[in-house]
Structure 1
């Protein structure tokens, strides 16, 4: 008995000399992260990995810290290592797909998300992200079944309905897009981009009053949160409704939110040039204003071939 106690004490002493285990370091890192001590968390998790290079959980936790810091390359490397250690770990595959998506490595993202979906076939977020990567690659049809599965898996999520609406819009199925976007608004009425996307589908169908109503509702519900994009879309809608004064006011409102919102300058230029050309004789001053608006737009965003063509077309011959 005495010999056993001596051996136990010796083992305890040796453990103390060796320092905390990889599990201890991992737990310390997680606790530090929960307390907002990110530098300490990073150190502890790195020590855990050094102590046990096969500890997949530590790579995932450290990858999360890199992701939160916006360092997606480092995060991807940690998640890659976690997948190498634990190929069937859902979180490792899903988070790796997310990093690849952020890094615009879409083919790699698809492979990682597909692996995640193999592990959890009904996971709404993995299915929807996979669908959206296909959409980002210009292949919405390949993503449709995944988006529908995501909605079936989480029918009360505005996010899944909103993304399904975007996918239908890319497929040119405007009615289905409108239905999905309206459902998203029913579930969460405070998402600016959903109103804008819904209004865009109405504009495609030349349902200008429906577009106006959608955007006006967004302005009422969201107050300043709608910002420049809602005002600019309203400007376009009023222009389509042949109400140039209201359109102009909305474009100026968009610039009040964001003085570099070049789309508003484009709209102001179109209004001024349209009024110039319909006047008898053509209004030279309005034409000059149009050119000035388009020039301001190009100063903000030079890569606008259509606006450059308009400038070349209507600029006075030298």
Structure 2
């Protein structure tokens, strides 16, 4: 960015850097001296300088030595991929290194951008002619050719960079993006998959690959839809074909078209279990909950093999306030899937809201037996005991919640509330303090702070 050229404070801010390094080199006869000055990005004050000597026939060796010195001085353990990057082939031709450097300097000039790009292209081209095995020069040249819309030239230069250095990750990644723009997605995927193997955590490469996978995924389903339409034309009374086409439309995100196909299937066979289930789920998920429940119940009576139908039916009934009906549905859900922990938790919640606290206790207890690391069921068990008028058992459950997870703020708050109800204000304040230390931004934080101030012990010798 020409606007920040020389502005060390702004450069460091944009790079989020705590240290800037300014490099230079000079040649004397057969030798090359590389220096790196470390600069405080705020004051611009020089901190220290590193130097390295090498041969003009292998300038990269001196540069790599500088990088290693800096890493050691900063006590940075270089990850394997970075260490490998330092060892990556560069150039053994000092004039090629000089031409490459001139190209980088041209790109940083403050004059007309087009002139700078032209000069940089000329310098990078010179570097590649001086050393055809100079991968970085080919890579830089490729990026500029791509910028100029010379896609053929850019592709050739990227491939030249990879011939010179098969592990040049940036060249492979940019080549992949170029191939995507040329609609050569199969080739692009090959390049990007290889680049991702070199940098599996790189979000840009993950995103580029995901876009290709999604496009291919969409294309495959579009072809499936065309095939099913032809099958329906040949067999218009087969309800299963409409269900399959509806499923394809769902995968493509065409929900209205999917609903239409499920309705067509039901016009052919009203008790089709999959059509009822899938239409019920669409209606449920798009806000038409009452209609959704009707179709989900038809799916159950039609013998659907979708195991989660009872769980989703229970969730929908909960949203509509039918807690007894929801509890019945969740009970069926956990009968079918005995290890369905969300089912047990929701069964406990629905039972408690329906006023069946004993049933809630059983459900939450079963959940806690399956998932022994979750503190939430113990809190809910405590609430059920409290609702049944059993404060001692409630306190035991609340304490168990913070034993399972000492940083469970809601458990400490529940303990504090129980002490508060028993007028044990000192203990209540202690519990509320612990909750605030864990979760200072808790939704009840303001109220809790007021209670802590209210219940603070009076100074020695004074009475509350």
Give the TM-score taking structure 2 as reference length. Answer: 0.41
Determine if the alignment matches structure 1 residue 57 to structure 2 residue 277: no
Is the 2:412–2:431 Cα contact (8 Å) retained in structure 1? no
Hey, what does 1:236 align to over in structure 2?
451
Find the aligned partners of 2:287 and 2:410 in 1 and give their Cα distance.
23
Give the C-alpha shift of residue 78 in structure 1.
1.5
RMSD: 3.5
Q: 1:29 to 1:218 in 2, by over 3 A?
A: farther
Measure the CA separation in 2 of the matches of 1:65 and 1:192: 37
Q: How does 1:1-318 map to 2 (within 5 A)?
A: 16-19=233-236, 21-86=238-303, 90-171=307-388, 172=391, 173-182=393-402, 185=405, 196-197=413-414, 199-204=416-421, 206=424, 207-220=427-440, 223=441, 226-227=442-443, 229-241=444-456
Shift of 1:68: 2.1
Structure 1 residues 43 and 108, CA gap change in structure 2 (3 angstroms) = same
* TM, length-normalised to structure 1: 0.58
Partner SS, residue 25 of structure 1: helix
Structure 1: unaligned runs, 5 residues or longer: 1-12, 244-318
The answer to whether the 8 Å contact 2:395/2:415 transfers is: no
**Aligned residue pairs, count:** 225
- Residue-by-residue CA offset, 1:51-89 (whole Å, 9 max, x unaligned): 332222222222222222233212211111111112786
CA contact (8 A) 2:401 2:411 kept: yes
Report which of the two has the higher share of strand.
2
Residue 210 and residue 19 in structure 1: after superposition, are their counterparts in 2 closer, same or farther (change >3 A)?
Answer: farther
Higher RCO (C-alpha under 8 Å, 6+ residues apart): 1
Query: Which runs of 5 or more residues in structure 2 are unaligned?
Result: 1-229, 459-464
Residue 8 of structure 1: aligned partner: none
Which protein is richer in helix relative to its size?
A: 1
